[in-house]
Homo-oligomer: A and B are copies of this chain.
């Protein structure tokens, strides 16, 4: 699910935007100031940014400028009340990908969000990657790598690792894993997950023998090793 950063200081508008995006299947994250936005952006993982121009802390222009300085290519759609051409030109030159003038039409905003996301998917070539210690999970290739060595994960193994790497600090119970990966009620006395974890460990060991990646938390479940 695509994460979208919503940078907007007006709580009412922010809420409305998050609701709209949430209903459309995106994962909105709200930031209420320019500085907060940059903190979030530092974490990475966003597919798109909706950026208001008038912000406390740092202006939208400054946020955009700093973001582009870090060479981040995340698409940015600017929300603006100003409509003069100079502002537009400046924004485009700074690296905005599009802009929407307030008050905006929800459908138009959504269409622009979709167009931008679709296009950046296409252009990225390969999908986003999650990394943990020496392993890199390639979401486009559906596999894990250590350097250039491929683990050759099966679908379930990949999904289990993906789940755990998305939240490396969380301990996942078998119940958690079963419901996320298999998608149904957990039957309890099932050894299936243990077997998959075992095979997953084997494949990770094969490409990166000096680290332990999947840690067991006795009586509770599994997590990524610290």
Contact = CB atoms under 8 A, between A and B. Distances in A.
B92 A112 contact: yes
A169 B140 contact: yes
Interface residues of A, number: 42
Interface in A83-130: 85, 88-89, 92-93, 95-98, 105, 107-108, 111-112, 114-115, 118-120, 122-127
Interface stretch (A16-24, A46-54, A214-222): A214-222
A141 interface: yes
23 contacts: A73-B123, A85-B107, A88-B108, A88-B111, A89-B107, A89-B108, A89-B111, A92-B112, A92-B115, A93-B111, A93-B115, A95-B119, A96-B115, A98-B98, A126-B167, A140-B167, A140-B169, A141-B170, A141-B171, A142-B217, A142-B220, A154-B218, A155-B219
